[in-house]
């Protein structure tokens, strides 16, 4: 097995393309170079969605590594893009040397993507940057999970990395017939940076062990977005007298410490935090299974990272 923490930094490039034929989706082409590895298990001819896993040799990224993955989901095709275990981010010899992951996705008319990776796990004294860009049509759908854990909690390394930046952009593709130009719809960024030697941002994380964002967009996921909004609206509120106001049919799950959901420019953006990674997994899985769209349209295997 490759020891990722001891190897030289590398540039990994990957390409993945999915097409639809007679109502089923399959991968028409894919390639990857070290340290990125793409794996696609055999799928049945009747599979509604193609399934692919993103992995790195040794299970993680060393300082200076860069991964660039380009994904195209053709008209009416569906793809579930997952990982196998948390992506570890190893210690850097210098704050200025970071690992980086770039994902660029194009979704054609009626195409759909579920991106449900395991959380990033930045080690102590690591630095990492991630950028994910999605180009969509009005009829395409996307579900994106982006989450970062505190690190190796068992070794007392909660939130002790130098820096972790993640960014998710959703762009509307241009329409040459109408003259509509490409337009930025959503830009969601997370910046965790240890800017001072005297204090540490872990002191401001309010005992969270994981923090994440779920972006829900497109006609296939309208019901899922409505579900999260409805569940959030039934959380306890603080009344004028400072007392918690309970509502009939209230949904409350103690597995997450806090969460919120809001409609933003045609999407639903969910933010959540939990003390334990497993608590966040269970909460997300319960919510997605209760609503049912993901399992129905992409198969139960698309939820592997939440088991």
CB atoms within 10 A of CB 301: 14
If phi > 0 it is left, if psi is from -120 to 50 it is alpha, else beta; for residue 202 that is alpha
Cα 47 to Cα 304: distance, rounded to the nearest angstrom: 17
pLDDT of residue 52: 97
pLDDT of residue 71: 99
* Domain extent listing, the chain: 8-306
Cα 12 to Cα 2: distance, rounded to the nearest angstrom: 15
Cross-strand pairs, 60: 88
Cα dihedral value 219, 283, 191, 157, nearest 10: -150
pLDDT of residue 1: 45
Question: pLDDT tens track of the chain, all 307 residues?
Answer: 445 555 667 899 999 999 999 889 999 999 999 999 999 988 766 578 999 999 988 789 999 999 999 999 999 999 999 998 899 999 999 999 999 999 999 999 999 999 999 999 999 999 999 999 999 999 999 999 999 999 998 888 889 999 999 999 999 998 767 767 889 999 999 999 876 554 566 677 778 999 999 999 999 999 999 999 999 999 876 655 555 555 444 344 557 889 999 999 999 999 999 999 999 999 999 999 999 999 999 999 999 999 8
Check if the beta carbon of residue 49 is closer than 8 Å to that of residue 25.
Answer: yes
Cα 195 to Cα 142: distance, rounded to the nearest angstrom: 34
Cα torsion angle, 58, 60, 63, 67, sign: positive
pLDDT of residue 181: 84
pLDDT of residue 252: 46
DSSP assignment of 22-85: TTEEEEEEEEE-TTEEEE-----TT-SSEEEEEEEGGGEE-TT-EEEEEEEE-TT-EEEEEESS
């Amino acid at each position: 097995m490759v020891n990722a923490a001891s190897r030289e930094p590398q540039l990994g490039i990957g390409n993945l393309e999915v097409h639809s034929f007679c109502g089923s989706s399959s991968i028409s082409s894919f390639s990857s170079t070290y340290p990125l590895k793409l794996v696609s298990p055999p799928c049945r001819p009747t599979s509604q969605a193609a399934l692919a896993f993103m992995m790195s040799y040794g299970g993680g990224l060393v300082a200076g590594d860069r991964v660039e993955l380009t994904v195209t989901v053709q008209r009416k095709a569906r793809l579930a893009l997952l990982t196998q275990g948390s992506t570890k981010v190893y210690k850097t010899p210098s704050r200025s040397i970071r690992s980086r992951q770039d994902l660029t996705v194009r979704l054609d008319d009626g195409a759909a993507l579920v991106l449900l990776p395991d959380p990033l796990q930045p080690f102590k004294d690591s630095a990492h940057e991630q950028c994910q860009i999605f180009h969509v049509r009005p009829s395409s759908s996307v579900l994106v999970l982006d989450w970062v854990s505190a690190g190796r909690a068992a070794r007392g390394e909660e939130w002790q990395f130098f820096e972790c930046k993640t960014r998710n952009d959703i762009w509307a593709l241009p329409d040459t017939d109408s003259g509509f130009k490409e337009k930025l719809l959503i830009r969601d960024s997370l910046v965790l940076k240890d800017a001072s030697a005297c204090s540490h941002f872990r002191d401001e994380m309010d005992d969270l062990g994981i923090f994440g964002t779920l972006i829900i967009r497109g006609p296939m996921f309208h019901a899922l977005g409505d579900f999260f909004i409805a569940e959030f609206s039934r959380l306890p509120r603080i009344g004028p007298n400072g007392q918690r106001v309970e509502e009939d049919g209230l949904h409350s799950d103690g597995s997450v410490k806090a969460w919120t959901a809001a409609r933003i420019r045609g999407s639903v953006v969910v933010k959540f935090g939990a003390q334990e990674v497993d608590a966040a997994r269970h909460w997300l899985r319960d919510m997605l299974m209760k609503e049912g769209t993901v399992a129905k349209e992409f198969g139960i295997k698309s939820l592997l990272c939440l088991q």
